[in-house]
Structure 1
Amino acid sequence: MLAFLSLPLIFLWFGEAFSSLSPFILHERRSHIPSGWFLERKHPASAVLPLRFGLKQSNIHNLEDYLYDISDPSSPNFGRHWTPGEVVKTFAPSAESVTVVQEWLIDNGISKERMRVSPSKGWIEVDTTVEEADQLILADYHVYTHESGQEHIACEEYHLPEHIAPHVELVTPSVHFDAVIRPRPMTRDTALMKSDITFVNSTYPGVGHCDTQISLDCLRALYKFNYSPIASGSNSFGIVEYTPQTFNQSDMDLFFTNYSIPELVGRPPFQISIDGGYQQTFNQSFDYVGESQLDLQYGMGLVTSKLNVTLYQVGDAVNPNTSFNNFLDALDGSYCTYEGGDDPALDAIYPDTQPGGYDGSPACGTAKPAAVISTSYGYNEADLTPFYATRQCNEYAKLGLMGVTILYSSGDSGVAGNGQVCLNDDGSQSTTGTRFNPSFPGSCPYVTSIGATQIVAGNSVNDPEVAAARVTASGVFYSGGGFSNVFGLPDYQRGSVASYLKNFKTDNFTSAAYNSSGNSRAFPDIAANGAAYVVAAAGEFILEWGTSASSPTMGSMLAMINDARIAVGKGTIGFINPTIYSALFQTAFNDITSGNNPGCGTEGFTCSAGWDPLTGLGTPNFERLKELWLALP
C-alpha cells in the first residue's frame, strides 16, 4: 500500500499566478542504491524526461472483494465472470482526479497542449525537462551506472502537493529502480543449464522408468490424467515465451514422433506475436530453445491434437526489457495505460529503434486472453518496487474477474532468489544475504503459483512423490516457496498458513530469516512433477528439471477441466485459489510430506501434512478435480 509520510511543510512559489499552494509531502523514497549500481553524475537540467502520473483507480480497494465474489465456490455469484467493459468501467479513475492533476500542472507552467491523457483516463503524460521535473515534484534526478556499464535515470525520492497526492498512485520515472541487467528481464524457471545437460540415448514412453525419465505417459499415470477434449472449439490454453527463447519445429516433430502422437507432427502451436515476437533462427542452441521446447512439447502433448495451444511470443530479439507488462498490455487494452502505463526503466518501450528492433506500435489489447495461461519465467520480488509489483498483481486480479486462470512457476532456488541471491538487512540482494528472497509473480495473491515434485529413485508412479531437489556440480534445484514481503495474506489461505506456522519446527534458521508474521501471502499453491522431463532440443533428447516443467503440466490439466465444464454448458474455472483451498477440494490433491527447499545458508522449509511452502496443497488428482469442478455452477 502507498504510504504518505508526514514531512515538515515545504512551500515553493512558482509565480504570482499560483495562489492556492498546499504543502508538499513525501510520496516515495528509495532506501538504498541496488547492488552493483553507483551514482555517476547529476542528470543534465535540459535533458527530457517522459514524466508519467499514474492516477488512482476507482474502486481498487474493492478489487479483492469483487474477485472473491465470483471465485469462492460458496458464493451465489460463483462463475459469473465480468466482461472486459465492466472491468474498465469499474476501475477507471475519476474525472475529478484527471481535472485536479491537470490544473496543478497548468498552474506550474505545463500547458494543456503538452499533456496527453490516456483514453481510459488512467494516466497523464508530459515530456518535461529534468529542471522542470525537479521543481514539479521536488526530485533530484541522477544518472546511475551499473558495473556492466548500463545507465539508469532515477531520483532518491519525490514529493507531491498534499491536495494532489490522493489522486496519484505513482510517478515514473522516479525511485522505481527496475532496470534489469540479465540478458532477459526475467529468469526462466528451468534449473538445467547447458553445462548440466543429460543426453538420453533411449527414451521410455511407458511408465517403467518414471523415476529417471518423465514422459507424457508418466504424468498421465501420476495424476490420473486420461482425458480427450470434446469442446475444443470453445476452449483455449496459452503458453507465454519471451524472444529470443524459441521453439524449433524439427525438435517438436522429433518429440511427437517418439511419443507416438502423429497428429502433432508438423503442426506448430497457434502463434500470436506481441511487440515483434517471432521464432528466431540465429541461435538454436539449448540456451535459446530449451524453455520453449519444454513448455510446448508437454503443454501440447498433454492436451492432445484436439486443442490447438496458443503460443504468445513476446518481444523482439534485441530489446532486453520485454516484460510481463508488455504481455499484459496485449491482453488488456486498458492496462497499457493503467496507473501510469509501462515503466521505461523495466518494460520494453515500442517502437524499438535499435537495429533489428520492432519498430511498430506497441501491442495494446491486440491478443485475446486464453482461458488458462501458463508462464515459466519470474523475477525476484525484491527486483521490483512494491508499487510496480502491486500494479501488475492487480491486473492478474482483473483477468481473474474475466474468467482467466493465471499460472506461474514458483522458482528453482528454494528460499533464495534467482541466481541464489538472498536479502540483506537493508533490502538489497547478494549471495551472502541471510534473509529469504521470495519470487514474483508467484507471490501475487491473484495468480496460482506452481511448485515442483519428483519421484524418488527406485520408486514408481504409484508411490508418493517428494519435493523436487537436485544438486550437481553446476548448480542446485529446489522447489521455490516462502512468504511474500509485499503482499498480505489472502483470506483463502489463512487456515492453511496458520496451521503450517503453528506446527513448523526448525533449528537451522530463526524467524528473522523470513516474513514470519503469519500475515503475508505464502506460495506455492499447488505442485506437479518437475524432474527429469525428456525433451527434444537442439536435435537431441535431453532431461530438464524445474518448476518451469510443472506449470505447463498443471495448466494442461486445468485446460481440460475447462473443456469438461464447457461441454456441459458451464463456464471456465477462472481464478482457482479460493476453490482449491476450500475444504471440499482437499480430497483432490496428493499431499506431499517429504522434502525441503534450502537456500540462504539454511535448509529452508520442510514439507508437512497439509499445505507447505514447497509443494503447496500437493499434486493434483485430475479425475477428482474434474468431478468436483463439474459439480460447481
Structure 2
Amino acid sequence: MRCSLVALVSLALGLAASASPTAFPWTLHEKRSSIPVGWSPTHKLDSTATIPLRFALTQPNIQDIEKHLYDVSHPDSPNYGNHWTAGQVAATFAPSPETIKAVLDWLLSSGVEPARVKLSPTRGWIDVSSNVKEAESLLRTNYNVYTHDSGKEHVACESYHLPAHVAPHVDFVTPTIHFDAKLSKRSNPQIVPKPGNAFGPKTTGGTIGTILKELENCHTTITPDCLRALYGVAYVPVAGDKNSYGVVEYTPQAYLQSDLDMFAKEFNTGLEGKPPKVVSILGGVVQTVNQSFGYNAESDLDIQYASAILTAKQNVTVYQVGDLAQGASFNNFLDALDGTYCTFEGGDDPWYDYIYPDTSPGGWTGPQECGTVKPANVISSSYGYNEADLSAKYATRQCVEYGKLGLMGVTVISGTGDSGVEGNGDMCLNPDGSQSATGTGFNPTFPGVCPFVTAVGATQIRPNASILEPEIACQDHIYSGGGFSNYFAIPDYQKAAVTGYLKNYTPNYPAGTFNTSGSRAYPDLSANGAHYAVAIDGQMTPAFGTSASAPVVGAILALVNDARIALGKKPIGFINPTIYSSKFTKAFHDITNGTNPGCGTMGFNSTKGWDPVTGLGTPNFPVLLAEWLTLA
C-alpha cells in the first residue's frame, strides 16, 4: 500500500517535535585521510555562524543496479538491448518512506525545530537550517575554516558521525569532509583538474608543415585515413537521422569553425562549412574571444576526428556546458541528461558543483537544467579528476548515474589520462592517501575507474613502422593512463581477464603501490593517441593523448550503432559486459609492447590479453561490427 508522503512527514514532525534528546550508539560515517594539496586549517569556525546542513538520503535499490545493467547489457541475456525508460529508472531508485522517517525522527528528537527542517520535493534531500554549535553536536564533529594557497577559504571537518540506526539511511552530509572539486577555469590544475588541463591533449609545440597523406607516413602524422586503415573502418552511415553521437566540452573550452573548415578542406572530409549541432547547457557558449591551444585544442580535436570517422552522413552533437562566469562540473552536465539526477541522492553538492541560476555578472540566470537534453546514443568525454580528489561516496554517486545512463541505452566513453600510473598534475599517492609529486602510490583517474564507464587508453605506431605492424602502448610525449581503483570493486565482467593478468604478469612492487585487493581495473580498450594532425587556431598542430583516443573509439562505436539501427535493432548501450565476453575475443588487436611509467616506476606492462595499459587492445572494426550484428 502506498504511503502518503505528506502524512508520513506530518506524523514524524508531530511525534518528535516535543521529544527530549535520546542517547544513541554512534558510528563514524566519513573520515578524510588527509587534507587536499594546497589547503591548510587556519582557524576554528565561529560557533554562532550559520551552516546549512544537507543530508543526502540513500536509495534502497542502488545495490541492484549492476544486476539490472547486466540484464540489458550482457550478450547472453535474453533481455539484451531491452533498455529502460527514464521513468522506469526513476521509479526503481526512488527513496523510501522508511529512510525519510528515520532521519526526520532523529533530527527532531535531537531538538531541531520542525520549522528548520525541509524535505526536498523529490524526497532525496533533507535540509536543516542550523548553526555551527548545533551541527557539531548533531554530527559529533568540529568545523574549521581551511585556506587554500590561492587565498580561497572553505568550511569543512576532518570526520563526522551519525547514530548507528540512522547511518544506513544517509549517503553523505554536507558540508563535512568534502573539498571543492569543481571543473573551473579559475582552478589551479595542480590541485583540481579543469577543462583543457584534465587529460590533454598535449603537443610538441610548433606546427605541422606539409602533411604527407600516404599511409606509410602514419608513424609520424596520424590522419583520418590512418585511423581507418589501422582499425579497418570502411563503413559509411546509412541511418544518421536515427542515430546520435555527442562529445562534452566545458566552457571556456570551445572549437573554432574556421579550424573545423581548415581540417575538412585538408582531408577532404566533405564537412567544410558544416558545423556540429551545439546543445547549450546552463549558458554554455562556443566562445571565440580566447583563442589558444589551451582553449581550443580539446574541442577542435574531438569534433574534427569524430566527424571525420563518422563522415558527413552523421552529425556530431557538442554538449557545451557552463557559462563563461563560473563554468560547470560533470554533475551539472548529468543533470541536463537525466532530470531525476538533479535530486538523486540529494542532488548537486554546492561544495562540489556549480549552482544555477548564476547571479555573478554575465552568469546564466535561467533555472537549473534538469532532464532538458536527450542523451546521445554514445557520449565521449576527455575530462577527468584524480580519483583521490573526490570522496568515495561522491564518486560512487556519480558512477551510479553512469550506470543509469547505461540502463537507458547510452554508451559513456572516457579517456584514462596521459600520465601513466600517475594522476593529473603528475601526482602520486602518499601512504596517508594524500597526493604529492614525491608519492610512490599509483594514482587512478576518475571517471575511468567507474565500472559503468568504458575507459579508453592510448597506443601509437612504432617509430618507422608501418600500419600493418602491431601498435604499442603510447610512449611518445604521453603514457596511457591505467591501473586499479581504490574505491570501486572489480565488476564481474572483467574478473577473468584481470585475474589472469595479476596471476601471470603482476609487477613486483612493494605492498601499497597499487590496489591488489580485487578492484575495478582500467582501461577497457584503447586507440591511437599520438601524432594527430589537428587544425588549431589556424595551424596544423601535432596533438597527443587519450583526448584523441576517446572520441575516435566513440565514433567507431557510433558506426556500430548505425548498422544495428539500420537493421531495426537497438543501440549497443553499456558495452563492457559484451566486449569482455568470449564472443568478442577476436574483436580487438592485442597490444603486447609498452608500459605506462610513473611514480618512480615503469608502471605496468602491455602483455598478451587484457592489461592495465591498453586494456583489451584496439578495435578490429569488421569483427566488432559482425559480432554486434549477431546480437538481438
Same-fold call, TM > 0.5? yes
Match of 2:539 in 1: 540
The match for 2:471 among 465, 470, 479 is 465
SS in 2 for 1:464: coil
Q: Deviations over 1:33-81 (max 9, x none)?
A: 2222110112233333332111110211111111111111111111111
Deviation at 1:261, TM superposition (A): 2.3
Partner of 2:11: none
Indicate the residue corresponding to 2:28 in structure 1.
26
Please state how far the C-alpha of 1:124 moved relative to its aligned partner. 1.7
| Counterpart residue type for residue 512 of structure 1 | G
What is the CA–CA distance in structure 1 between the aligned matches of 2:346 and 2:17, rounded to whole Å? Answer: 28
Q: Which one-letter code corresponds to 2:260 in the other structure?
A: M
**1:293–1:535 Cα contact (<8 Å) kept:** yes
Q: Deviations over 1:458-486 (max 9, x none)?
A: 11211110000124xxxxx1000001111
Contact 1:102 1:112 (8 Å CA) reproduced: no
Residue 105 of structure 2 aligns to a residue whose secondary structure is helix
Match of 1:437 in 2: 443
Alignment counterpart, residue 355 of structure 2, candidates 315, 328, 349: 349
Hey, what's the Cα distance between the residues in 2 that align with 1:58 and 1:629? 34
Q: Secondary structure at the match of 1:452?
A: strand
Structure 1 counterpart of 2:6: none
Matched, 1:210 2:193: no
Preserved contact between residue 449 and residue 484 of structure 2 (Cα < 8 Å): yes
1:377 is paired with a residue whose SS is: coil
- Give the superposition deviation at 1:371: 0.6
1:558 match: secondary structure: helix
Instruction: Give the one of 314, 318, 327 matched to 1:311.
Output: 318
C-alpha spacing 1:533/1:18, structure 2 compared with 1 (3 Å): same
Q: Which residue of 2 aligns with 1:188?
A: 198
Contact 2:74 2:578 in 1 (8 A): yes
Which string of whole-angstrom CA distances, capped at 9 and with x for unpartnered residues, describes residues 212-251 of structure 1? 1101110011100011111112111010001110001011
Q: Check conservation: 1:205, 1:216, Cα contact below 8 A.
A: no
Contact 1:524 1:614 in 2 (8 A): yes
Alignment of structure 1 residues 215-226 onto 2, 5 Å: 215-226=223-234
CA contact (8 A) 1:248 1:289 kept: yes
Secondary structure of the 1:26 match is strand
Out of 391, 404, 416, the position equivalent to 2:410 is 404
Secondary structure of 1:265's counterpart equals coil
How far apart are the structure 2 equivalents of 1:429 and 1:529? 29
Distance in 1 separating the partners of 2:400 and 2:500? 27
Q: Quote the Cα distance in structure 2 between the aligned partners of 1:179 and 1:375.
A: 17
- The correspondence for 1:293, drawn from 266, 291, 300, is 300
Q: Quick one: structure 1 residues 293 and 337, their matched pair in 2 at CA, closer, same or farther if it must change by over 3 Å?
A: same
Q: What is the distance in 2 between the residues matched to 1:510 and 1:101? A: 44
Counterpart Cα distance in 1 of 2:366 and 2:147: 29
**Aligned mates of 1:268, 1:188 — CA distance in 2:** 25
Give the deviation of 1:275 after TM superposition.
1.6
Q: Which residue identity is paired with 2:458?
A: A
Is 1:363 aligned with 2:343? Answer: no
Report the equivalent of 2:247: 239
* Residues 547-601 of structure 1: per-residue CA shift (max 9 Å, x gap): 0100000000100100100111110101100000001101110000000000000
1:341 deviation in Å?
Answer: 1.6
**Which one of the candidate residues 236, 259, 273 is aligned to 1:228?**
236
164-173 or 220-229, which moves further after superposition? Answer: 164-173
Helix, strand or coil at the partner of 2:497: helix
1:156-179 per-residue CA deviation (whole Å, 9 max, x = no partner) reads 121222332221111111111244
Matches of 2:238 and 2:117 in 1, distance apart? 52
Take 1:35 and 1:459, find their aligned partners in 2: how far apart are those partners?
A: 42
SS of structure 2 residue aligned to 1:188: coil
Mapped partners of 2:476, 2:201: distance in 1: 9
For the 8 Å contact 1:178–1:385, the answer to whether it is kept is no
Spell out the pairing of 1:56-455 with structure 2 (5 A cutoff): 56-179=58-181, 181-182=187-188, 185=194, 187-193=197-203, 196-262=204-270, 264-319=271-326, 322-455=328-461
CA distance in 2, matches of 1:171, 1:601: 37
Letter in 2 for 1:174: T
Displacement of 1:328 after TM fit? 0.7
How large is the Cα RMSD of the aligned pairs?
Answer: 1.7
**Partner amino acid, structure 2, of 1:401:** L
- Give how far 1:492 is off: 0.7
Kept in 1, the 8 Å contact 2:141–2:157? The answer is yes
* Counterpart for residue 3 of structure 1: none
Q: Deviations over 1:277-334 (max 9, x none)?
A: 11112211111001100001011111111111111111122326x2111111111111
Name the SS of the counterpart of 2:359 in structure 1.
coil
Amino acid at match of 2:291: Q
Residue matched to 2:516: 516
User: Per-residue displacement from partner, 1:389-413 (whole Å, max 9, x unpaired)?
Assistant: 1111111111111110000001100
Tell me, what secondary structure is at the counterpart of 2:216?
coil
Once the two structures are TM-superposed, the CA of residue 268 in structure 1 deviates from its matched residue by 1.5
- Distance change >3 Å, CA 125–CA 390, structure 1 → 2: same
Distance 1:205 1:135 in 2: 69
Shift of 1:19: 5.5
Residues of 2 paired with 1:469 and 1:119: CA distance?
52
- More deviation, 223-232/348-357: 348-357
State the identity %: 55
Residue 8 of structure 1 corresponds to none
- AA at the equivalent of 2:618: T
- 2:17/2:109 contact within 8 Å kept: no
Q: In 2, Cα distance between the equivalents of 1:304 and 1:110?
A: 61
3-state SS of paired residue (1:233): coil
Whether the aligned pair in 1 keeps the contact of 2:181 and 2:390 (CA below 8 Å) is no
User: Where does the alignment leave 5 or more consecutive residues of structure 2 unmatched?
Assistant: 1-15
Name the CA distance, whole Å, in 2 between partners of 1:127 and 1:185. Answer: 32
5+ residue gaps in structure 1? 1-13, 472-476
Could you tell me which residue of structure 2 aligns to residue 10 of structure 1? none
Q: CA deviation at 1:17?
A: 2.9
Task: Provide closer, same or farther for how the CA distance between residues 281 and 48 of structure 1 changes in structure 2, counting only shifts above 3 A.
Answer: farther
Residues 501-544 of structure 1: per-residue CA shift (max 9 Å, x gap): 1111545x334311123x11100000000111100001100010
* TM-aligned CA deviation for residue 141 of structure 1: 1.5
Contact 2:18–2:109 (CA<8 Å) still a contact in 1?
no
* Whole-angstrom distance in 1 between the partners of 2:510 and 2:40: 33
TM-score by length of 2: 0.93
What's the TM-score once normalised by structure 1's chain length? 0.93
Q: Specify the alignment match of 1:497 in structure 2.
A: 498
Q: Distance in 2 between matches of 1:378 and 1:505?
A: 26
Secondary structure of the structure 2 residue equivalent to 1:382: helix
Aligned-partner residue type, residue 483 of structure 1? F
Query: How far apart are the structure 1 equivalents of 2:498 and 2:296?
Result: 38
1:559–1:16 distance in 2 versus 1, CA, 3 Å: closer
Please give the secondary structure, in 2, of the residue aligned with 1:218: helix
For the residues of structure 2 that align with 1:275 and 1:142, how far apart are their CA atoms?
A: 32
Change in CA separation of 1:529 and 1:502 when aligned onto 2, cut-off 3 Å: same
- Give the secondary structure class of the aligned counterpart of 2:412: strand
**Equivalent residues of 1:17, 1:107 under 8 A apart:** yes
- Contact kept? 1:172, 1:340, Cα under 8 Å: no
Supply the AA of the counterpart residue of 2:457.
G
Contact (CA 8 Å) 1:204, 1:215: kept in 2 or not? no
Residue 51 to residue 16, structure 1, CA distance change in 2 (3 Å)? closer
The answer to whether the Cα contact below 8 Å between 1:206 and 1:215 also exists between their aligned partners in 2 is no
Q: Give the direction of change, closer, same or farther, for the CA distance of 1:373–1:106 in structure 2 (3 Å limit).
A: same
Q: Is the partner of 1:136 in helix, strand or coil? A: helix
Q: Distance in 2 between matches of 1:618 and 1:495?
A: 16
